[in-house]
A = this chain, B = another copy of it.
Amino acid sequence: MAATERILASARKQIAEQGILGLRVADVAEGAYSSVTQIYRYFGDRNGLLARVLGDLYQEFLEQSLQSVADRLDGLDVVTIDDIVDALPSPTHDWMRINSGMRLQILATAVTNEELRNRVSLLAQEHLRRWNAYIEDVSSRLKQGEALDSRVFTIMLVMQMAYYRHLLGDDGFSDAEYRQFLKDKLRA
């Protein structure tokens, strides 16, 4: 493994264990059999290291989110609105809470880390283009008589933060209510 890869792997491990705030470059260096000086040479500073590691993580989240939907719809020649909604993740699932908690921390870091913000911004724009292309593909396979309002993806879902649902606890909407809402609103 190259030095930069060892550093990135060590930084990920540190973030998983200590959180983003607790990341110390000296600990990353130790876990990578590297030095603080070498890390600064590759990534500029702590912010540069965070921009790279958190940007990579964010990219993986976005790719997984599209892939998990595609995996469930790709086998179908004819797709219904119900199929699409059933393929979307539930905001109340445990892994959504963990995943959205991490996304929240990455975005919050991006507010004050310009390098990370630029990377995340480009990723979000690329992600939107890929979703648009995917929605077009799915629309071409829609069951006769059904039509899709793509704005539910490009306006509503693109701004959705599942962590809010987690904060509402038992007072929040149920998965069934969420899916019914999406089905009603997705129908054009």
CB distance from A19 to the nearest CB of B (A): 5
Q: Are B151 and A158 in contact (CB under 8 A)?
A: no
The one of B101, B110, B156, B169 that contacts A111, using a Cβ cutoff of 8 Å = B101
Which residue of B159, B168, B177, B184 is within 8 Å of A160 (Cβ)?
B159
The answer to whether A160 and B163 have CB atoms under 8 Å apart is no
The 8 Å CB contact of A104, one of B19, B101, B104, B158, is B104
- The residues of B that contact A158 with a CB separation of less than 8 Å are 164-165, 168, 172
Q: Is the CB of B19 within 8 A of A167?
A: no
A120 touches B (CB below 8 Å) = yes
Q: Of B124, B151, B165, which contacts A167 at CB under 8 A?
A: B124
A181 within 8 Å of B by Cβ? yes
> Number of copies of this chain in the oligomer?
2
Residues of B within 8 A of A163 (CB): 107, 111
A44 to chain B, nearest CB (A): 18
Q: Give 28 CB contacts A-B under 8 Å.
A: A19-B112, A105-B108, A107-B167, A110-B167, A111-B163, A121-B169, A124-B164, A124-B167, A125-B169, A125-B171, A128-B172, A129-B171, A149-B184, A151-B177, A151-B181, A155-B178, A156-B160, A156-B181, A156-B185, A158-B164, A158-B165, A159-B160, A159-B161, A159-B164, A159-B165, A160-B160, A161-B164, A185-B185
Name A's B-contacting residues (CB within 8 A): 19, 21, 91, 101, 104-105, 107-112, 117, 120-121, 124-125, 128-129, 149, 151, 154-156, 158-165, 167-169, 171-173, 177-178, 181, 184-185
